[in-house]
Amino acid sequence: MADSQQIEPLIGEQMEGAMLGPAPSGGLHQLVPDGGEVYVTSSGWRLAWREYASNRLALIALALLVLVVLFCFVGPIFYHSNQTLSNPLAQTEPPSGAHLLGTDQNGFDELGRLMLGGQSALEIGAYASLVAIVIGTLYGAIAGLVGGVLDAVLMRFVDVLLSIPFLIVVLVLATKYSGTVLDISLVLGIFSWLVPSRLVRGEVLTLRTRDFVIAAQTMGATRRRVIFRHLIPNAMSVTIVNITFLIADSILALALLGFIGFGLQFPNTSWGDMLGNAQTYVTNGQWWLVYPVGGLLVVVVLCFNIIGDALRDAVDVRLQRR
Amino acid sequence: MPTPALKVHDLTTEIQLSRATVHAVGNVDLEIGEGETLGLVGESGSGKSILGLSILGLLPGGGHVTGGSIKLYDRELVGMKPRELREIRGNEIAMIFQDSLSSLNPTKSIGEQVAEPVRLHRGASRKEALDRALEVLELVGLPRPRERLSDYPHQLSGGLRQRVMIAIALACEPKVLLADEPTTALDVTIQAQILKVLDDLEQRLGMATLLVTHDMGVVAGRSRRINVMYAGRIVETAPSEELFTAMRHPYTQSLLGSIPRLESDASKPLLSIPGLPPDLTNPPAGCRFAARCRFATDQCRAQEPPLTGSGEHFFACWNPVDGPAVITVSKPAAGAAPAAAVAASVISEPAPAPAAAPAATNGSAPLLELVNVVREYPVTAGALLKRKVNSVKAVSNVSLYVNPGESFGLVGESGCGKTSLGKLIVGIEKPDAGQVKVRGEELFKKRGGELRTARRVVQMMFQDPYGSLDPRMRVRSILREPMQVQGIGSAKEQDQRVRELLGEVGLPVNALERYPHEFSGGQRQRIALARALVLEPKIMVADEPVSALDVSIRSQVLNLMKRLQSEHGMASIVISHDLAVVKYLSDRIGVMYLGRLVELGTGDDIYRRAAHPYTEALIKTIPVPDPAVEKAKADVGIRGELPSPIDPPSGCRFRTRCPLAQEICSQQEPPMRRFGPSHQAACHFPLQTPEPETAATNGAGASAAPSLS
């Protein structure tokens, strides 16, 4: 035993040779990594998904949402209905075999109309939130990284915009532009990037003092590289959570616009338009014009909010529970 | 053996996670007598803290004791009702936690917090409890306790907060005190003070103390017995002296051999334990250390060794060793020759002193030169206008130089400005005055592409292995990034270089596609080292490269750094609070105190011939993993706390804590004086005799100084 404790490192050639006796014959790093093996664990996103999946309510919400999306976009393939020509002969018919949810005041099939309205709601929600998140992330990342006077000016500008009643501006803009899906998405998106920009800036403020950002600077990385390679990918967890809330907000805003008559142009429709038109009929006992669309709107917005909450939890606790 | 106050028998604790069970503590036996200190040493994840929490019944969510018993005198604590346990906690068993800032309630005054256990357990009135609080605060050596009763935790420094924590623990005169890493978060000079307090109290109050720590030096002089824990098991238990001189378990042997020591020869590599501790959710079948043990046999891998031994010394090993490892430098080439060869290849400056000194001035200019560098961070008031009211003097008038291929070490306590100095050197921060010159050019005066190219020369390695790698990038991208930024090589060449480096730092190739979170701390530090080497820098600044790592991993990284340093022939600047680490890695050392460089010299100059009282005290306070040395230590080194860098003392900044300080120290800033060819210190009353005054007339400048005979 005493022999094996006589350690004879080959000085110079192998300074690290303090591995003793029958240790792996050093030098050949590729064969015997002396840093130890790398344990294969699951990726951060997979851990987040595991956390998300353990939340039953969130899974239900996700499933419901998938159903709604299928209903809106795949439904029309199986359930044909006339949604372009109004039919004065079939106004406000109650549900029947031909029209499962009856018809509206223009004689359109209500179920098909729900699908059509859902398409525009989901599309506008997606586009608007995309516009908002792109603008907000860039704006917030630049303000946070550059800091100083520029940061102060940029963020005060956001404060000013936040203090303007957003609906009034949107109304003014909506009357000026024709109400296509793209127009409305842009208008909504341009007014909802403020909150994400603040969130991203806050995240960037903590990220930019982290060592890996400083390391990138010592290797001579440009600001653009730091923002796009390091800051934005790391702020992603914040933005992804925020997207779900933005979609829900956009859908609600669209419904509101439609309700007061500034939404999409006929014959396009949104759930808000349908609700707005239906309010005159609700007292006449024509329930099929009100409850299905109202219920669907509530369900979709609720689903997005639940998913957002669960995502936030999943991303947050990821490091605590392994 | 005195009557055991606390007796733990065959304790097993498990922590239930969502998908797996961590077998945190297994079959642990220990006994602490009255008035005795028992040391419990282990690395992070060895289960030592969980053991402490099991005793208190404060296990984290999912944790529970699954077997064994814990007896306080003859009362069984396992399975006790929460209400009864609550009466024992803080009353008969008290605990001192590591992090005093998060363990104290920031919204209550310290008087109230110390009084709280007295009111809860003794039913004392508010007045009586506060009187008792005053008494214990005095006992733990809090200066002017009466005035401080109504202070809040944030108003106290780390050392004082730790004293308050101890006072809370002692308020009800507990019979058993659990100290979980009580000094880990503190500076060495403060650590020595706190350990002294604990020592005194334990003798005066006759408590049974369990001292849990990862630092062999801390337990060495303080406990009669030491238990060594590895992966949830006690692997060896012995009286202190015996454990250090005649250990039987290979883990204990390697652990002690892997600690860099001040007195040891820096040219010898440290003993290192390869690999990583096992995953406790799925521990190996046999001996848990077998995978990293160089004596492991098939029996070790198949069968778990029981705790055997005789007398007071027990160990769990099939193939026990006999005493400490002897690291011998290969003898054949006539004794001193190989050592000298190493010294020549690694140490460039100090060895042939008279010859090298002129060369430094005439021939090659220093690679890095700092001239009277000042860096102050503004302290602002007001939310909007940000008036500058004062400044933190992080770096004041520091001058130094580093030659090509030389390794320079910077030591100092937290807040002495060593990290700021590191950032100034890599050009992340600009000096407020003075110059930072790399190869004669000032980095921060450059712009654009020129700056980018210049940055290749200086690279940095960071302290926190968790923060220095981008969590969203794979290792391949992390290591390629410097080359992409600098526009070096094609994608294929970059990939080739990345593979090369990965091998050089001892990581398997399959690491390329992994994300940082899949690596252990030591492995991440290897990746960070590889990243710093990608651009083949001339200088590498390593800021506390190993302080976040466990002891066994630390020596791996230190050996690696030392090897790569000499292989690449680059200069390095190692910044650390740990003098032993710095001495191991560096040829020359600079000691910083409150933003000032107080002493400069070779490792031996600093360790054997310290001229500045601060350096001397710093060396004295470092806990040495040797019971004989530790027990012989009489005084605590430096008294008092580090003054605020916002308003540093006039004259010599160390004078407020210096035993030799006199009138002149507060009036005049001491100039740098020369004590040897490469040895300088700034002190009015140095501990060594300086060389004749004419030799060091270059003012405070150490920069061009080596031009003397």
pLDDT in tens, A5-29: 333 333 333 333 333 333 333 333 3
**Same-domain pairing of B48 and B128:** no
* Structural tokens at position A144: 């946070």
**Same-domain pairing of B326 and B245:** yes
When CB atoms are compared, the residue of B17, B295, B563 closest to A16 is B563
Tell me the pLDDT band of B78, cut-offs 50, 70 and 90. confident
A284 has a chain B CB within 8 A of its CB: no
Q: Determine the pLDDT at residue A27.
A: 34
- Whether B496 has a pLDDT exceeding 70, the answer reads yes
End-to-end, the C-alpha distance of chain B in Å comes to: 63
Out of B139, B173, B207, pick the residue that ends a domain.
B173
pLDDT in tens, B154-203: 888 888 888 899 999 888 888 899 998 888 878 888 888 888 888 888 88
**Same-domain pairing of B615 and B689:** yes
Residue B344: closest C-alpha in chain A:
A12
* Structural tokens at position B379: 């302290």
- Does domain A44-75+102-317 match CATH 3.30.930.10? no
Out of B173, B202, B228, pick the residue that ends a domain.
B173
Mean pLDDT is lowest, of A84-93, B21-30, B161-170, for A84-93
Give the span between the Cα atoms of A193 and A130, in whole angstroms: 9
Give the span between the Cα atoms of B339 and B330, in whole angstroms: 9
Which chain A residues touch B17 with a CB distance below 8 Å? 321-322
**Same-domain pairing of B270 and B158:** no
- Range of the structural domain that residue B198 is part of: 33-53+178-337
In a domain, B502, yes or no: no
**Same-domain pairing of B141 and B185:** no
In a domain, B26, yes or no: no
- Whether B364 has a pLDDT exceeding 80, the answer reads no
- Whether B134 has a pLDDT exceeding 70, the answer reads yes
- Whether B333 has a pLDDT exceeding 70, the answer reads no
CATH code, domain with B271: 3.40.50.300
Contact A35 B505 (CB under 8 A): yes
pLDDT higher for A298 or A80?
A298
Which residues make Cβ contacts (< 8 Å) with residue B523, sequence separation at least 6? A35, A36, A38, B276, B507, B511
Tell me the pLDDT band of B382, cut-offs 50, 70 and 90. low
Which chain B residues touch A40 with a CB distance below 8 Å? 514, 518
Mutate which: A28, A37, A38, vs B, most B CBs within 10 A? A38
Mutate which: B294, B326, B425, B558, vs A, most A CBs within 10 A? B294
Contact A218 B508 (CB under 8 A): no
Out of B173, B193, B223, pick the residue that ends a domain.
B173
**Same-domain pairing of B147 and B185:** no
Mutate which: B472, B494, B502, B568, vs A, most A CBs within 10 A? B472
Contact A7 B271 (CB under 8 A): yes
A218 has a chain B CB within 8 A of its CB: yes
Give the span between the Cα atoms of B174 and B201, in whole angstroms: 12
In a domain, B477, yes or no: no
- Whether A91 has a pLDDT exceeding 60, the answer reads yes
Around Cβ A118, how many Cβ atoms within 10 Å? 24
Closest CA to B236 of B298, B309, B288, B324: B309
* Structural tokens at position B34: 């009255």
**Same-domain pairing of B248 and B315:** yes
**Same-domain pairing of B115 and B186:** no
pLDDT in tens, A174-186: 777 767 778 788 8
pLDDT higher for B31 or B707?
B31
Q: Determine the pLDDT at residue A318.
A: 47
**Same-domain pairing of B109 and B186:** no
Total of domains in chain B: 3
In a domain, B301, yes or no: yes
How far is B578 from chain A, CA to nearest CA, in Å?
Answer: 21
- Three-state SS at B288: coil
Which chain A residues touch B267 with a CB distance below 8 Å? 11
In a domain, B487, yes or no: no
Residue range B429-439: mean pLDDT, rounded: 87
Contact B329 A41 (CB under 8 A): no
When CB atoms are compared, the residue of B423, B467, B523 closest to A38 is B523
Give the span between the Cα atoms of A133 and A197, in whole angstroms: 8
In a domain, B104, yes or no: yes
**Same-domain pairing of B235 and B208:** yes
Residue extents of the structural domains in chain A: 44-75+102-317
| Type of residue at B183 | T
When CB atoms are compared, the residue of B275, B339, B470 closest to A230 is B470
Q: Determine the pLDDT at residue A7.
A: 38
Per residue, the 3-state secondary structure of chain A, as one string, reads CCHHHEECCCCCCCCCCCCCCCCCCCCCCCCCCCCCCCCCCCCHHHHHHHHHHCCHHHHHHHHHHHHHHHHHHCHHHHCCCCCCCCCHHHCCCCCCCCCCCCECCCCCEHHHHHHHHHHHHHHHHHHHHHHHHHHHHHHHHHHHHHCHHHHHHHHHHHHHHHHCCHHHHHHHHHHHCCCCHHHHHHHHHHCCCHHHHHHHHHHHHHHCCCHHHHHHHHCCCCHHHHHHHHHHHHHHHHHHHHHHHHHHHHHHHHHHHHHCCCCCCCCCCCHHHHHHHHCCCHHHCCHHHCHHHHHHHHHHHHHHHHHHHHHHHHHHHCCCCC
Around Cβ A307, how many Cβ atoms within 10 Å? 25
Tell me the pLDDT band of B236, cut-offs 50, 70 and 90. very high
**Same-domain pairing of B159 and B200:** no
Mutate which: B559, B584, B585, vs A, most A CBs within 10 A? B559
How far is A19 from chain B, CA to nearest CA, in Å?
Answer: 6
Contact B455 A220 (CB under 8 A): yes
- Whether A204 has a pLDDT exceeding 60, the answer reads yes
How far is A59 from chain B, CA to nearest CA, in Å?
Answer: 18
Give the span between the Cα atoms of B485 and B495, in whole angstroms: 14
* Structural tokens at position B283: 């521990």
Please answer whether residues B404 and B571 qualify as being in contact, where contact means their C-beta atoms are separated by less than 8 angstroms.
yes
ipTM at complex level: 0.77
pLDDT in tens, A126-168: 888 888 989 999 999 889 888 878 888 888 999 888 888 877 8
Tell me the pLDDT band of B575, cut-offs 50, 70 and 90. very high
**Same-domain pairing of B258 and B139:** no
* Structural tokens at position B494: 């970059």
pLDDT higher for B249 or B203?
B249
